[in-house]
A and B are shown apart, each in its own frame.
Chain A
Amino acid sequence: MTDATAEGGAGHGGAGQGSLLARDTRTARRNAAESRFKLYGLIAVCIGIAMLVLLLTSILMNGLSSFQQTRLQIMVELPEDKLDKSGVRDPEVMSKVTTFGYAPLLRDGLEATIAEAGIETDLSAKDAADLISDESVAQLRNMVLANPDLVGQTIPVEVLASGRIDGYYKGRVTMASAELDSNISPEQLVLADQLKAAGKLSTSFNWSFFTAPDASDTRPEAAGLGVAILGSLYMMLIVLCLALPIGVAASIYLEEFAPQNRWTDLIEVNISNLAAVPSIVFGILGLAIFINFAGLPQSAPIVGGLVLTLMTLPTIIIATRAALKAVPPSIRDAALGLGASKMQSVFHHVLPLAMPGILTGTIIGLAQALGETAPLLLIGMVAFVREYPESPLDGGLFDPATALPVQVYNWTQRSDPAFVERASGAIITLLLFLLVMNLTAIFLRRKFERRW
């Protein structure tokens, strides 16, 4: 700040003699530049933080409502003459009655409920029944087939409201937009309001969002993440079972045993390059090698798991090597000095001490794999899958499934705006999983980290 005095006499500052106490114009200018520069930095940091906040708020604003679902409570009569003419209550025989046989029951049930609540409406029974999701018919049928003794009784049923009604209570559908929408009319919205006032329609927490499978284009209200969560879980299992042992073994070799030669160099260069290869290239690898060459089925968690394993390996190897490097040489020397072989010193002493670091790296690698989408698109995981895969012991790893991030992509490709809400809800679920994983990693690091 005071350097101007040195050259001040040589023409700067104009006064001929600089003073240490009075600031000349040049110093002022330099100080201004200094604070401007500092401000730029602060602004950059703030933009970064603001973007994070904006991103998260946008997702939360769009997606939180998917955790709520509007449902109707109606009484449904299940007449024996329609559902089980034989009277033997055999699900095999009863399954001959298709969903068309059940649809009128729900319609009648709703009509009765409207009448019971004393609501006057001009809508026909068919229009009123549009309040109910198409999916509910199938659900009612499954319920009856699972428990044939219900036939002949009048039971209270909680059915999903249709996507537009659900949207009405989440602010997505308004009276004005209903005017233009062929799927819903303002009268139906009025009826929904009346039902709500009568306590027959309510909004509650949407557990089925986490358990139900995907639903078709016209039934966003029934779409859930069940299959996707299961598929992601299977893939994470495969990644954990393959990437952890292979990654640890590779790191031990490179860090503890590898001689300095061409082969080692080649491996090192390969690992650092693989860490930077675009993820979609791994998808091409999976398609060409695992599906076309090895003949594994498309859309199967096993292929996804293998591809993600190859992607995660560099991350785990880099983290494990850092953890092994952090174990001081004195530990190795002490073990060797007591007569242990090199292998024993590594497996009995170094590896256990490096374990917290390895686990942290593995969890971070898993979190990365959980959010990866692009390679999974190429190996067919975008398929529309409604069947839950079997358990891994019954070959479930080869059954078609989807994954959480792929389900998000899938839903963004649908036309109904209700799916945007579902996609955002799925993202929130995904981010929650990631948050838990990362917090576990931080906890492990804090709890077990040692300073030598």
Chain B
Amino acid sequence: MPLSWILLLLAAIGLAAFFLSRRRAVGSVEGDARRLHSLPLYYGLHGAMMALAPALLLLAIWLVVQPMLLDRSILSGLPDDAIPEGSTPGLVMSDVRRVADGIERAFANGAFSEGDLTALTTEDVGAVITGGGTALGTPLTADVLAAARDYWLARGTLAWIMTAAVLGLALIGAAWAIRRSDGAFRARNVVERGVLVLLIAAASIAILTTVGIVLSMLFETSNFFRQYEWTEFFFNTTWQPSFSGRGGSSELGIIPLLWGTLYISLIALIVAVPIGLFAAIYLSEYAGKTFRSIAKPVIEILAGIPTIVYGLFALITVGPLLRDAFASPLGLGNSASSVMTAGLVMGIMLIPFVSSLSDDIINAVPQAMRDGSLGLGATQSETIRQVIVPAALPGIVGAVLLAASRAIGETMIVVLGAGAAARLDLNPFEAMTTVTVKIVSQLTGDTDFASPETLVAFALGLTLFVITLGLNVLALYIVRKYREQYE
């Protein structure tokens, strides 16, 4: 039975439970709703909740667990030599699954009958399945065919068991809820507790996401370090993946990538921090109300522009401009994509980031400090330089750190503006590459999750995650500590 039918039936059971529970509750007090503990609605909701919640939970768990257990049992049933040289259990299993789908389709078309399966040879079955629109990667072997038949039969049986279990559970829940519905039953409390569980589950998704990020990267990274020495990864100064010669000949050192990342981020910060800081100071201390109300949103538009737009800007405008105006005449190279291009454009992107964070922090400095300084005769700029900025310094440092973490994790600008050559160089007009660029290039196109060239992307991702997380935590710590001083 397809999933949509199960869901539809569940909905029907839930609806029936809603009305029956409510009717029984109202009936138990002879229609006098005032004698009920809760509003009639809650009795209905309680019925629906009891019918649906356990059944849906079971359905979800079943759908996740069944494929895993089934795969394992089918794989353990396969003889050892069924997995050819150079293949993996996963690949064989996907073949089995494909053949099983083919058998299912052939059955639906009426090309097979129950008896055929055991009698027919692999060639016949292969021909029928291929004719039914299933592409087979390798010629069908007897082992795979047998496994596929078992898989298909087991899947069919399990689907029926699941349907029965889920619908049965829904009916039991509904019956139980209806039986409990009488005037004294505290339906509202139960329903509200159910809703609260739902709210907690939603809030916990944030934790699940973090756990998912960390686990997925840790798992693949450990796979990577099983194939590639970790000292090589962290200390080798060459990045030279080779996709032709599996393993061995590839050199996957992270240092050139980190260098490119840090160099570009540094240029971006050199652009963004002074401009952002001065803009924030001007807007919060000098600008009139009208000017501020126009200029602040205009600068903040820069923050709302997607990074791909900056990337394209780097690629078609800034890159060629820098090459023709500086790099070529000075003899520093003739590449349009360069550290400078990516750094400048990223700097522009970070201006609003630095300026609005600093703006908030400068505004949080108490007015009394300004008044005190001005009252002692300092000029406004002296007040700013000697009183306000020192007072806001921890917050500003926090803002710069957050901006740095943004710069390090930024992808599209560097993909389009920085180039792809891993290089340890000081010339800012040379194309270099970053950690994020390499994650993209190793994980797009044809990927083979058994080779270190692909898996290295997860190690890069984990490194990136740890660096940015560290910067964020440090920044938040500094900002928080600073805030306590004045509040």
Residues facing B in A225-284 (CB within 8 A) are 245-247, 249-250, 252-254, 257-258, 266-267, 270-274, 276-284
Q: Does B295 sit at the interface, judged by CB under 8 A? A: yes
**A266, B465: Cβ atoms closer than 8 Å:** no
The CB with the most chain A CB atoms within 10 A, among B278, B409, B444, B449, is that of B278
B-contacting residues, A15-51, CB 8 Å: 30-31, 33-34, 36-38, 40-45, 47-49, 51
**B interface: dominant SS:** helix
Contact B216 A51 (CB under 8 A): no
Contact in complex: A59, B306 (CB < 8 Å): no
State A3–B295 Cα separation when bound (angstroms). Answer: 34
Q: Nearest residue in B to A40 (C-beta to C-beta)?
A: B278
Known: A267-B203, A367-B304. A30 touches B379 (CB 8 A): yes
A88 interface residue per 8 A CB criterion? no
The residues in A between 282 and 298 inclusive whose CB is less than 8 angstroms from any CB of B are 282-285, 287-289, 292-293, 295
Cα A37 to Cα B274 with chains together (Å) = 12
* CB-CB under 8 A for A274 and B376, given A52-B301, A405-B308: no
Measured between C-beta atoms, what is the minimum distance from A60 to chain B in Å?
11
With A250-B202, A343-B192 given, is the CB distance from A278 to B410 under 8 Å? yes
Residue ID in chain A nearest B192 by CB atoms: A343
Q: Which of B295, B316, B476 has the most CB of A within 10 A?
A: B316
Which of B106-114, B205-213, B245-253 forms contacts with chain A? B205-213
What residues of chain A lie closer than 8 Å to B311, measured between beta carbons? Answer: 373, 409, 412
Shortest distance in angstroms between B205's beta carbon and chain A's nearest beta carbon?
Answer: 6
A278 pairs with B468, CB closer than 8 A:
yes
Overall SS of chain A's interface: helix
Interface pair B204/A267, CB less than 8 Å apart? yes
Cα A52 to Cα B433 in complex, Å, equals: 26
Bound Cα distance A102, B275 (Å): 60
Nearest B residue to A285 via CB reads B213
Against B, the Cβ 8 Å flags (1 = close, 0 = not) of A400-422 are: 00000100110010000000100
Contact of B364 with A by CB under 8 A = no
Q: Are A341 and B192 in contact (CB under 8 A)?
A: yes
Listed stretches A69-77, A165-173, A326-334, A424-432; interface member: A424-432
Contact A285-B355, Cβ < 8 Å, known A253-B203, A438-B304: no
Q: Are B278 and A62 in contact (CB under 8 A)?
A: no
Q: What number of B residues sit within 8 Å (CB to CB) of A?
A: 91
A58, B412: Cα distance in complex, Å = 18
Would you list which residues of chain B between 469 and 487 have a CB under 8 Å from chain A? 469, 472-473, 476
CB < 8 Å neighbour of B210 from A40, A44, A274: A274
Contact of B309 among A277, A341, A377, A427 (CB under 8 A): A427
Determine the distance from Cα of A220 to Cα of B279 in the docked complex, in whole angstroms. Answer: 42
Let me know if A314 and B206 touch, CB within 8 A: yes
Residue A371 interfacial (CB < 8 Å): yes
- List, in ascending order, chain B residues with CB within 8 A of A58's CB: 313, 316-317
Which of B146-154, B170-178, B328-336, B380-388 makes up part of the contact surface?
A: B380-388
A48 to B446, CA, bound (A): 41
* Cβ-based interface call for A382 (8 A): yes
Is B302's CB within 8 Å of the partner chain A? yes
Q: What size tier do the contact residues of chain A reach?
A: 35 or more
Alpha-carbon distance A200/B449, docked complex (angstroms): 55
User: Please, how many angstroms separate the alpha-carbon atoms of A201 and B283 in the complex?
Assistant: 54
25 contacts between A and B (CB under 8 A): A34-B380, A37-B380, A40-B278, A41-B283, A42-B286, A47-B275, A47-B351, A52-B298, A52-B299, A59-B309, A249-B198, A250-B206, A253-B203, A273-B473, A274-B210, A276-B472, A277-B409, A281-B464, A284-B461, A288-B219, A293-B216, A310-B205, A374-B412, A427-B308, A427-B312
- Contacts from A to B (Cβ < 8 Å): 1-3, 6, 30-31, 33-34, 36-38, 40-45, 47-49, 51-52, 54-55, 58-59, 62, 245-247, 249-250, 252-254, 257-258, 266-267, 270-274, 276-285, 287-289, 292-293, 295, 310, 313-314, 317, 341-343, 367, 370-374, 377-378, 380, 382, 405, 408-409, 412, 420, 423-424, 427, 430-431, 434, 438
The 9 A-B pairs of least Cβ separation, nearest first, read A278-B409, A371-B306, A41-B282, A3-B377, A288-B216, A44-B278, A249-B202, A37-B381, A374-B411
